[in-house]
């Protein structure tokens, strides 16, 4: 069929024609904004999940929803090597400039811009931040990032409360940010929550599958015990789509173009994609190109799935695993050999008796979000847990012999 009419969007972070399976999370986000506007405590989520689970799509939808209801939104994407203070400064400038366009409390907004200018001059290195205001010193320019960030956020939150609307700082790829910077952000958000200010933080990024355990070295999503109790960041892990939602993601866009799938083709596609929204879009797009017309039948789907797996094997998985050590590849191969089932950690040790410090190998793979850990007891050093692959179709790539060892290192 003509690819120009394909309704599928397989690009990373590209919104699909039909968005399925995450409606309850969006509804909960709306509730959080309602509560914050009413002066009640709540928070936006920090969205995490496997690669291709739709984190960025959901993140962008939430940003759009906040803007539609009139919230002041500063949104950025974290880039390796960029200071958290620089990202906050950029988002704060966007928020304050938007506040200034509404022509209310202009003196207060001008003062906040001056505070931001002083903050940037002390806490942000190498960033050109064009702010048409005189620097206001003595508030957020001590050089102590935790203190300055808290005072800046409180100043902005107070103006938002005066205007009767909220502020959302939104940061994609937040896993790039060092833990100590997240601690400072948490402290600032907690201070705003204590004052019932309508300020929230929306994040999206890759984090390991374990929950907060109290063991910081074992858990990179861990925050300090005080901040953990404050609960200013709420992790929302995106699980694979159900079979019913997976079918909708394929059939509803096609139906809009007058195309349908045979039952056999649809079942094969849903099974192949393992609930991954990104893979569903990729399979739909490739099937559209292979199919001579409607319906997309089982034979066409068979060709499609071989094609998609080959593309993953050539272009996606080699890059994904290029930094894996030989012990890490052997762990992946052993988990893949479990045929999609969880493998208990003790069984893994029996399969790989010669791998040195296996728990460190497991931790490194979890930190790369290549495996999921399913705990029975905490923490990782002492606990019992099962292991599964975190990336759809990775088991097929690893195969009986394991991932190829000729990947670029």
Q: What CA–CA distance (Å, rounded) separates 394 from 315?
A: 13
Local structure of residue 210 (DSSP, 8 states): P
Res 233: pLDDT: 61
Res 401: pLDDT: 57
Q: Which residue would you say has higher pLDDT here, 403 or 25?
A: 25
Residue 312: which of 350, 344, 338, 274 has the closest Cα? 274
The Cβ-side half-sphere exposure at 407, using a 13 Å CA radius, reads: 22
Answer whether residue 374 shows pLDDT above 60.
Answer: yes
Full set of structural domains in the chain with CATH: 23-238 (3.40.50.300), 241-320 (1.10.8), 326-398 (1.10.10.10)
What is the value of pTM for the model shown?
Answer: 0.86
Render pLDDT for 315-331 as a digit per residue (tens, 0 to 9). 999 999 998 989 899 88
Res 5: pLDDT: 93
Under 8 Å CB-to-CB from 151, ≥6 apart: which residues?
Answer: 115, 139, 140
Q: What CA–CA distance (Å, rounded) separates 145 from 138?
A: 14
Q: What distance, in Å, lies between the first and last C-alpha atoms of the chain?
A: 40
Local structure of residue 16 (DSSP, 8 states): P
Res 236: pLDDT: 86
Under 8 Å CB-to-CB from 123, ≥6 apart: which residues?
Answer: 85, 89, 140, 141, 143, 145, 148, 149
Q: Which residue would you say has higher pLDDT here, 1 or 103?
A: 1
Q: Which residue would you say has higher pLDDT here, 277 or 133?
A: 277
Res 383: pLDDT: 60
Render pLDDT for 203-262 as a digit per residue (tens, 0 to 9). 998 877 654 333 334 443 344 333 443 445 677 889 999 999 999 999 999 999 999 999
């Amino acid at each position: 069929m003509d690819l120009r009419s394909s309704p599928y969007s397989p690009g990373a972070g590209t919104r699909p024609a039909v968005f399925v399976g995450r409606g309850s999370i969006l509804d909960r986000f709306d509730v959080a904004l309602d509560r914050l506007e009413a002066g009640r405590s709540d928070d936006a989520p920090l969205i995490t999940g496997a690669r291709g689970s739709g984190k960025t799509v959901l993140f962008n939808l939430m940003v759009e929803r906040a803007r539609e209801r009139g919230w002041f939104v500063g949104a950025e994407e974290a880039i390796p090597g960029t200071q958290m203070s620089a990202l906050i400064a950029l988002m704060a400038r966007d928020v304050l400039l938007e506040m200034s366009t509404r022509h209310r409390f202009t003196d207060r907004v001008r003062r906040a811009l001056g505070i931001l200018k002083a903050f940037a001059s002390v806490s942000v290195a190498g960033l050109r931040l064009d702010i048409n205001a005189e620097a206001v010193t003595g508030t957020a320019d001590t050089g102590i990032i935790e203190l300055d960030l808290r005072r800046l956020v409180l100043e902005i939150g107070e103006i938002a409360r005066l205007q009767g609307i909220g502020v959302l700082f939104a940061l994609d790829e937040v896993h790039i940010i060092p833990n100590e910077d997240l601690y400072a952000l948490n402290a600032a958000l907690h201070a705003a929550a204590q004052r019932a200010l309508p300020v929230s933080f929306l994040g999206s990024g890759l984090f390991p599958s374990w929950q907060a355990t109290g063991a910081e070295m074992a858990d990179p999503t861990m925050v300090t015990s005080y901040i953990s109790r404050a609960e200013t960041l709420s992790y929302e892990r995106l699980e694979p789509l159900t079979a019913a939602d997976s079918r909708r993601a394929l059939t509803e866009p096609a139906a809009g173009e007058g195309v349908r799938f045979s039952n056999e083709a649809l079942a094969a596609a849903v099974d192949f994609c393992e609930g991954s929204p990104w893979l569903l879009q990729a399979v739909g797009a490739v099937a559209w190109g292979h199919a001579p017309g409607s319906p997309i039948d089982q034979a066409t789907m068979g060709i499609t799935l071989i094609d998609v797996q080959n593309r993953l094997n050539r272009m996606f998985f080699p890059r994904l695993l290029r930094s894996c050590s030989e012990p890490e590849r052997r762990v992946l191969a052993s988990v893949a050999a479990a045929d999609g089932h969880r493998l208990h950690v003790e069984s893994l040790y029996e399969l790989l008796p010669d791998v040195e410090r296996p728990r460190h190998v497991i931790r490194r793979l979890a930190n790369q979000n290549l495996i999921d850990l399913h705990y029975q007891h905490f923490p990782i050093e002492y606990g019992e847990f099962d292991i599964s692959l975190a990336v759809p179709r990775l088991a097929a790539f690893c195969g009986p012999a394991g991932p190829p060892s000729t990947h670029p290192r």
